[in-house]
Amino acid sequence: MWNQCTILRNQSMGFKNTLRIPVLSFVLSIERPLNTRTTQEGTSMKKMRTITVSLAALVAAACLPTLAQAQFDVTRTMHIGGEGAWDYVTVDAPTHRLFVTRGSHTMVIDAATGKTLGDIPGQKRSHGTAPVPELGRGFITDGGGSGAIVVFDLKTYAILGTLAAMPDADGIIYDKADKLVLAVSGDGNSLITIKPDVDPKSGKIDAPIALGGAPEFLAVDGGKAYINLEDKNQVAVVDLKTRTVTAHWPVAPGGRPVGMAVDTKSHVLFIGCRNPQKMIVMSEDGKVIADLPIGAGVDATKFHDGHAFASAGDGTLTVVGEKAGKYAVEQTVKTPNGARTMGVDEATGKIYLPTAEFEAPAPGATGRPRPKPDTFMIVEVGQK
């Protein structure tokens, strides 16, 4: 049997040492004398020791399990349908639900079955969702018009109320440690903070924090918010206790930063940049540790279980790993075109990317292609 190696030593009376190795259902025994008196015997003992060590090393290697690096790949495609474009997808890991903003509405999808569990209507241009499980409610950014934050019930998906916000309310997350819902306003150049237990009918957002540029997405760690400023090619750092901007860090050699994730154990930021196309790996003191190539049209970066990911509209998911303090691209997963945003289930490690089938672009057309009606889908990526 290859999965068991046993060394039995009998040293009583100084007679012999016996190495017993079960290999393919038989026992190989090698005996050597413990005491030698002549040069010839000494030479024989040296040779026997060499043979014993060599065989032990070979069999020990055979007994070790083969460790192959896990590869990421598309494991499933869920055809959802429904009208509207899409932006961010947020995963509620405890229930494995996907919240996908679709412009005028936000869909709730069972990640296990692909079934639609609910549909929250009434938005003008929805962007992101932030569930707050301990309070049984969620928050949706609506960037249309003067901007709003929609508060809804996590069980029934009923709208509890709407808070006036700022134009182009966009990326949104829940900061559990500081008990704050954080959102950014692209046109308002500001960070929005909301107490999660706010009265959804009469409550208000906190006083906005001016950032000095147009934000896209954000991450939090240790009481600080790290926010991409797409138009400034910078990361703004906000102290959430003092509610002040404490630093602006350049993302060069990247540019137009849009995706943001953080490894809270190593305190490292992963920033997805569109032009130049880079994933910038940055320490939490603003130092660029690595700049790595990614696909065109990135819109999200995530970090989970030792890997960073960048999803791009050109149909690529870049997987970045770290070894001995050095970061490198480990794999580029082929995904359908348009799969530019993603959410990660922290419980299962599965990645979910929304996209659709697209109409052929007209000659000379620019911008994003038009999705075909009712072809919206969720692509699942996992390790194989």
What's the mean pLDDT in 44-61?
Answer: 41
Cis check for the bond before 33: say yes or no (omega within 30 of 0): no
- Buried b / exposed e over 3-25, threshold 16 CB at 10 Å, is eebeeeeeeeeeeebebebbbee
pLDDT tens column, 181-229? 999 999 999 999 999 999 999 999 999 999 999 999 999 999 999 999 9
What was the pLDDT predicted at 99? Answer: 98
What was the pLDDT predicted at 384? Answer: 86
Q: With a cut of 80, say whether residue 159 has pLDDT above it.
A: yes
Domains 73-86+251-361+368-384 and 87-214 in one fold = yes
CATH number, domain 73-86+251-361+368-384: 2.130.10.10
Look over the chain and give the mean of its residue pLDDT values, rounded to a whole number.
87
What tokens does 325 get? 């303090």
What was the pLDDT predicted at 365? Answer: 81
List the chain domain ranges: 12-63, 73-86+251-361+368-384, 87-214
Cis check for the bond before 257: say yes or no (omega within 30 of 0): no
What was the pLDDT predicted at 26? Answer: 37
What was the pLDDT predicted at 100? Answer: 98
Going by pLDDT thresholds of 50, 70 and 90, the confidence category of residue 249 is very high
Above pLDDT 70, what percent of the chain? 82
Above pLDDT 90, what percent of the chain? 78
Is domain 87-214 given the CATH code 2.130.10.10 in the classification? yes
What was the pLDDT predicted at 329? Answer: 98
What was the pLDDT predicted at 192? Answer: 98
What was the pLDDT predicted at 362? Answer: 84
Question: How many other CB atoms are there within 10 angstroms of residue 381's CB atom?
Answer: 24
Poorest-pLDDT segment among 33-42, 106-115, 129-138, 306-315:
33-42
Q: With helix as H, strand as E and coil as C, how does 250-308 read?
A: ECCCCCCEEEEEEECCCCEEEEEEECCEEEEEEECCCCEEEEEECCCCEEEEEEECCEE
Q: Is 54 exposed, middle or buried (0-12, 13-18, 19+ CB in 10 A)?
A: exposed
What's the mean pLDDT in 321-349?
Answer: 97
Going by pLDDT thresholds of 50, 70 and 90, the confidence category of residue 73 is very high
What's the mean pLDDT in 287-314?
Answer: 98
What was the pLDDT predicted at 368? Answer: 79
Contact 285, 279 (CB under 8 A): no
What was the pLDDT predicted at 244? Answer: 98
What was the pLDDT predicted at 70? Answer: 66
